Amino acid sequence: MNFLRPHLRALVPAALRRRVRDGLESVRWRFPAPPRALPQYGLTTTQVYPQGTNFDLVMERALAGKLEGLRLSARTPVASIGTCFAEEFAQFMQAGGMNYVRTEPDALASSASWGRVYTIPNLLQIVRYSLEPDFPLVLERSAGGYFDPLRDHAPLPSASEAEARDAVRRHREASRKAFAECEIAVITVGQNEAWIDRTSGMVWGRMPPKEVLEPRRASFEVREFSLSENRAALEQALDALKRANPALRFLLTVSPVPSFASFSDSDVVSRSFANKCLLRALVDEAVAARSGHAFYFPSFEMVLCYNPTSFRADNRHVKYGSVDRIFGLLERTTGLARPRSSG
């Protein structure tokens, strides 16, 4: 058959050959060989990248050892805080009738009414106002009433300032209680841009509403946090929670959900994933520094690395169709023109 290959290559257009190869890769992806080890190099099956549908199996084997010290059962009191992907975890826990800590009735998808906690500096603020009695109580006023700018506007605004202050005080006590009652805190980090009030130095839980932002635009800035800023904030948050609850263990994860928008770059896709990589590296550092009471769960990898549309059967190399998309974009955006061949 080998002698026929040059003739077939001459008869079948290159584009068609590439599509056929991508189709064959899809078949191989569905029917991979069993997970393999490389004993000659001392590598087990979890240390060699999984092929095809072996992905989940190999991930499960790898995590079984890494999460052994977590000791998570249906009776373990668990609290969760973080971005929108953290809501999925909360719903999973509650739907399964597990011991999910909820200290406020309106905390539909988190243990207290934090709303979505997008950034690590915002997480640190929540930890601080939960544990530090003298942490400043800051209120803002919108068209709907008075609200707490440090949260993602999960609670409805209050009609009066006094009512809003009482509501914030009750929330902070409920927040402290959630951190105190849980044995495991699931923290999902996900974004890295936030609006900062230059006057107070506070990190807002979300973008200020129009009626607040427009008259005070010079008082606000959008900040993309640096590696060192995030590292310091995450260390402070975890250390403070551990001091307040010495038995606490952490399950850290990175949300696979990209940024909805970017104020710091014209390219939201590239900026979003640059920030994801930064957050993933920080979480890795935090877990390594807290052996025995901090663990990582690969939500990010489970979504983004499991991609049979773009990857070949080895889950690593890119299919020809994706290669064509990549270099087609390069040509269109750089003005690159190359001679076309018929082979």
> Which of 287, 294, 273 shows the shortest CA–CA distance to 190?
273
Report the relative pairing of strands 249-254 and 294-296 from DSSP bridges: parallel
pLDDT at 86 over 90: no
Tokens (6 digits) for 87: 């809501």
What is the pLDDT at residue 210? 92
Cβ proximity of 204 and 263 under 8 Å: no
How far apart are the C-alpha atoms of 50 and 247, rounded to whole Å?
36
> Which of 171, 189, 172 shows the shortest CA–CA distance to 238?
189
What is the pLDDT at residue 343? 44
| Helix residue spans in the chain (DSSP H) | 5-11, 14-30, 55-66, 84-95, 120-131, 161-181, 210-213, 227-244, 268-289, 299-304, 320-334
DSSP state of 153: S
Mean pLDDT of 174-189: 97
Mean pLDDT of 174-194: 96
Cβ proximity of 297 and 67 under 8 Å: yes
Three-state DSSP class for 104? Answer: coil
With 0-12 / 13-18 / 19 or more C-beta atoms within 10 angstroms meaning exposed / middle / buried, residue 287 is middle
Cβ-count burial 162-176 (b if 16+ within 10 Å, e if not) = eebeebbeebbebbb
Tokens (6 digits) for 341: 């061949």
How far apart are the C-alpha atoms of 218 and 205, rounded to whole Å?
18
DSSP state of 132: -
Backbone angles phi, psi at 74, to 5 degrees: -65, -20
How much is the mean pLDDT over the chain?
91
> Amino acid identity, residue 264?
S
pLDDT at 5 over 70: no
pLDDT at 196 over 80: yes
DSSP state of 109: S
Which of 179 and 3 is assigned the larger pLDDT? 179
pLDDT at 3 over 70: no
pLDDT in tens, 91-140: 898 888 999 999 998 776 789 999 999 999 999 999 999 999 999 999 99
What is the pLDDT at residue 342? 46
Cα dihedral: 35, 37, 43, 44 (round 10): 50
pLDDT in tens, 254-268: 999 999 999 988 999
Tokens (6 digits) for 156: 């409805």
What is the pLDDT at residue 1? 46
How far apart are the C-alpha atoms of 192 and 229, rounded to whole Å?
11
Q: Whole-model pTM?
A: 0.90
Percentage of residues in the chain having pLDDT higher than 90? 75
In the chain, the domains with their CATH numbers are 67-294+308-329 (3.40.50)
Three-state DSSP class for 185? Answer: strand
Tokens (6 digits) for 336: 């690159």
Left if phi > 0, otherwise alpha if psi is -120 to 50, otherwise beta: which for 292?
left
Return the minimum-mean-pLDDT range out of 1-15, 61-75, 142-156, 164-178. Answer: 1-15
pLDDT at 315 over 90: yes
CA atoms within a 13 Å half-sphere pointing along the CA-CB vector of 237: 28
